[in-house]
Each structure stands twice: as structure tokens, then as C-alpha cells.
Structure 1
């Protein structure tokens, strides 16, 4: 399938998705959201793909936000549908993928861009990254999950501060508060993301999928039960048999 707003490449068992709208600082328009949702659907069913990296083209921006001109004249009903469709088509889909998704944040991650990064399971950032949710400066609030995911990552107080003030923070501060996992030079960002993806890809894909689900439920009253059920389920799977056998035979498992 040909895409107009994203580029897709493969490195071993890792698929790299690059948003290619540098003229708009990779802002998320409706077409880009649709394309991202489509490729994620395809990859979720592709056994050869063990991990996914999402990044932006160029050296300035991961995703600078949503494409405001597309919805500047919307009313309440249209705006609600925009948020609901975006979350269903992309943001919730990223969070609930059965394969780990790593955000390689290579510059501005603002508004919908930060919301996309937060939907990913892991976030690496370059030293030039700037992150924030500026929606209140437009008389709005985040609409793609920002008010829900940010408190889970950094705590309610810091989330309130960032959302209410609309200020940007740098990558160092983002790591200090737990918003990103690691910070690298721009040159090292993608190689380090690929290195992590390769490490993850060497592990059991069945176990990773169950772990994603259990972690996603960790802040609900269903989290412990999900962990118990997944733990038991995996005992019947070939990956568990191979992993335990390899351990006992003192060799690397072949998942």
C-alpha cells in the first residue's frame, strides 16, 4: 500500500513508521491519522513484526500537534466526533497493540504529538526534544487522551501544571518526571530505539502481548486478575515450553 504521509521500513523484526510531513512539522491531519491506523492494523496481524517504532521526519519535530486548520470552524458535535474517531483510529489502538510501540521523539512533541508519544508503550527522546500540551492557549483541552495518560505517567500534580500552564519542557526535564524513558543525541536516537526494539523482539511475543494488556490494566481494579489469567494462560503456550526448556538446557530460546 502506498502512503502519502508516512514512510514504513523494516529493520530485522522491527518496523519503523516515520511521519513525513516536515513542511507542517509532521502535524497530524486526518489523512495521517488514518494512514497510521491502517498500518498499525496491518502490523498487528503480521507475525514477522515483533516491535514498532514511530518517529518524525527531519530534525525538528516528532509531531508538532494536530492540524488546527482542519477543525478551526467545528461545532461541539463535530469536535466530539473528531476526538472520538482519533482515539479509536489511532491513539487507543497504539496503546492496545499486541506488539510494543516505541516513540522516538526527535524534536517537538506538542498537543496531539505528545498524546501520540504517550500512547506508545515506551518513549525515547533526543536532546532537542520539546514536549507540551498547549491546548488551553487555544481555549481547548487535549482531546486525544492527554488528560488521561499524562497523570498516569507523571502524577496528577505535574499533569495539572503542564496542562494548565501550557508550557513546554525539554527532554532532560521530561526524563526527570518520567515522561520519557531515556534521552540521547539526535544521531543516536533511532539506533538506540532500534537496539531496544531488537532486545524486546528476542523475547516471547505471546508473553509481550499479555504483558502489554496486564500493564494497561494496572490502574484499574482488573489489573491483578488480568495478570493472574495471563500468567496461567501462557503455561499452555509453546513459547513458555521453549523458554523453560532453553533455560534448563542453558541456551538462548528460539521464539
Structure 2
């Protein structure tokens, strides 16, 4: 297993730790990622990073694909990847991909599944699967929402990797930074997103998934219930009271 998972207060850091292979993922790593995501404890954010300074991750190790000797084996492998990415997307806390270097294939899908992405200017991103004779699937379907359908088709059909600074990827990075600013920017962003109540984080994350998968009217209807539901939690009233005190606001 080449995944290191460490909890530090409100932040759970998941490091893809196979630098000699550009942090390429094997089946066991995908399972370890899913297990780690399921053990949040008191975390209010999950950070995904790559070890070694050269790559976030080169995606799935090609030897894993070479070992798939039947459609059933292929379906089992991609279903495990799908489940892991769904867990990232649906996590009840903020998820953040910290990308420095290559971010390719399934690792790019992992970044797309995250809520936020801090990306260095020396990073390169793409979906080269078509060059291997296999399609880009699962959370690659999110790409067009970030960069538009035309650019998504360009990336997928050519299999090209683009520099993070390429204007076509302008909608992808939450923060695009010089490598020297990566850690500072990550810490500043984490400070902004970990101070919220677990109740509101979980509600907001559910709503993102709802908005992704329902009509506008259905999403609005469900959001009304989510809004009402957070008032069942005492921490909602505590947060409201604290905000009022900090800003000199009293109930009308």
C-alpha cells in the first residue's frame, strides 16, 4: 500500500506515496484511499497530496490495466475506482487536492471529484487514457463543467496533457500558485473552510450532490428542507449567536 493517511486536528491528509512511480495507483491503493476517507474522525477537511515533488499522481499504474484479462475483471476494477471517487465527491467535509507536478488519468478524476484544487504553475494535467485504447470514464464526466464541452472533448480525444497555466484550464484551479506559495496558500484555504460546523458542512455537501443530479426545481425544493434541517442541531444556534456577538448584531 502506498497511501499515507494522517489526522491533524480538523484536517485529514491523504498522501499518495509512491514517488519512484510518480505515485501511480494500484488496486490496493484505491481500496486504501476509500478506507481512509471513511475514517474521518473529527476532521472537517480532507487534503490529497502527492509525495516526491514531481507528481500528484500519474494515475492508475498501467500494469493494473495490463492485468485485466476480461470484461468482468475490467468492470470490477473500474467499479472500485468509481466507488472511491464517489466517496470523495460525497464526503461530508471539504475536500482539497493539492497538485504539484503531473496529475493524470484517474488522479485527475480524483482532483475533479474534490471540492477545491490548489495547483502550481509547473503542473500538467490531462486524461491520456484514449492513447492506451481505453476511454476516460467515471468522474472524467465532470471535466466539461469546469472547462466547457469543447475543451473537455479536446483533452479527452487527443489525450494531451496541458500546462496548468493554459487559458483553456482557467476554470479548473481554485488557486493557481507558484510552487513556493503552495503550502502557504493551502494552509490559508484550509483555515477558511475548517471553521464551519459539521452540520452545515454535511448539509452543503449533500446539496452539491443534489444540484448535480436533479432538476433546478427539485434542487431548490430539497435545499429548503436542508436549510430547515440544520436548525435541529444545537451547534447551528451556537454558530449564529457567535456571529451575532462578533458583528454586534442582536435579534430583532
Q: Give the gaps of 5 or more residues in structure 2.
A: none
Q: 1:93 aligns with which of 80, 87, 95?
A: 87
How big is each residue's C-alpha offset from its partner over 1:100-154, in whole Å with a ceiling of 9 and x where there is no partner? 11000111011111011111111111121100000111111113421x1112222
Q: Hey, what's the Cα distance between the residues in 1 that align with 2:146 and 2:211?
A: 12
3-state SS of paired residue (2:38): helix
CA offset at residue 175 of structure 1?
A: 7.8
How has the CA–CA distance of structure 1 residues 12 and 194 changed in structure 2, closer, same or farther, with 3 Å as cutoff? farther
Is contact 1:27–1:63 with CA below 8 Å preserved after alignment?
A: yes
Mapping for residues 188-207 of structure 1, pairs under 5 Å: 188-207=181-200
Which residue pairs with 2:144 in the alignment? 151
Q: Give the gaps of 5 or more residues in structure 1.
A: none
Which residue pairs with 1:15 in the alignment? 12
CA offset at residue 251 of structure 1?
A: 6.3
Is contact 1:129–1:170 with CA below 8 Å preserved after alignment?
A: yes
- TM-score normalised to the size of structure 1? 0.89
Mapping for residues 74-113 of structure 1, pairs under 5 Å: 74=68, 75-88=70-83, 90-113=84-107
Report the more deviating stretch, 31-40 or 189-198: 189-198
CA offset at residue 9 of structure 1?
A: 3.0
Is contact 1:126–1:184 with CA below 8 Å preserved after alignment?
A: yes
Stretches of 4+ aligned residues off by more than 4 angstroms: none
- TM-score normalised to the size of structure 2? 0.90
User: What is the root-mean-square deviation in Å for CA atoms of aligned residues?
Assistant: 1.8
1:237 aligns with 2:230: no
CA offset at residue 194 of structure 1?
A: 2.3
3-state SS of paired residue (2:165): helix
Q: Hey, what's the Cα distance between the residues in 2 that align with 1:149 and 1:174?
A: 18
1:134 aligns with 2:128: yes
